[in-house]
Amino acid sequence: GENVEQHPSTLSVQEGDSAVIKCTYSDSASNYFPWYKQELGKRPQLIIDIRSNVGEKKDQRIAVTLNKTAKHFSLHITETQPEDSAVYFCAASPSNFGNEKLTFGTGTRLTIIP
Amino acid sequence: EAGVTQFPSHSVIEKGQTVTLRCDPISGHDNLYWYRRVMGKEIKFLLHFVKESKQDESGMPNNRFLAERTGGTYSTLKVQPAELEDSGVYFCASSPLGRQYGYTFGSGTRLTVV
């Protein structure tokens, strides 16, 4: 089955700096890669996703890149703000429709230092 | 639009007891998923319903876990008898069938078995 590894497990950055979280996956059949943000005590929320026919996707300060050959994808947050502090999870799925099971990474706790 | 609702938010039970978790998906969402996060680890897939049918239950740990979705609306996940290793946060998520949307997660039920 699919295996997703996520690094780092914790990350602290100064407010205004950039943060990068990296994930690798094992199953070449995976073609849908969402990122979820979970604030303390709240539900995981989808913040951005990418499909295998796209190499990069950007939404304001958040971007995701995908390298299918190397089987890795990354989340980039620029101009970080205190409200970016949360646990971030990457995931992979074999479905283009996001309607099949997700295999998650172990999460990255991001702390933004004011 | 109401989100995915889970009851209870917290549950503390003794080893050997029974607990039933409930999930109310977003109205009209035919896909319903159960996931679990054990402390500090990844969010792991348990099972997937399409309407009232179990599409994939490959992640269910053992036969102490029973999930139902009668009528294709809300779902229950029963653990009987509970063991210490069942402690964790149980998440439910839902999505429309056949559309390219990510999941909407509930806030989870934190289960502690003592």
Mean pLDDT, each 10-residue run in order, chain B (114 residues)? 90 97 95 92 93 93 94 95 96 84 89 97
Please indicate if any CB of chain B lies within 8 Å of the CB of A54.
Answer: no
| Six-digit token string for B9 | 């938010």
Question: Cβ of B91 and A46 within 8 Å?
Answer: no
pLDDT in tens, A31-69: 889 999 999 889 999 999 998 877 999 999 999 999 999
CA-to-CA distance for A114 and A82, rounded, in angstroms?
Answer: 7
Pick from A39, A11, A43, A14: which is nearest to A108 by CA? A11
C-alpha distance from A22 to closest chain B C-alpha (Å): 15
The pLDDT assigned to B109 comes to 97
When scoring A33, A101, A108 by the number of chain B Cβ atoms within 10 A, the one with the most, hence best to mutate, is: A101
Phi/psi-derived region of residue A104, left when phi > 0, alpha when psi is between -120 and 50, beta in every other case: beta
| SS3 track for B64-97 | CEEEECHHHCCEEEEECCCCHHHCEEEEEEEECC
The pLDDT assigned to A3 comes to 93
Question: Cβ of B45 and A43 within 8 Å?
Answer: no
Angle, CA A91 vertex, CA B41 and CA B72 arms, to 5°? 95
| Six-digit token string for A111 | 């702390």
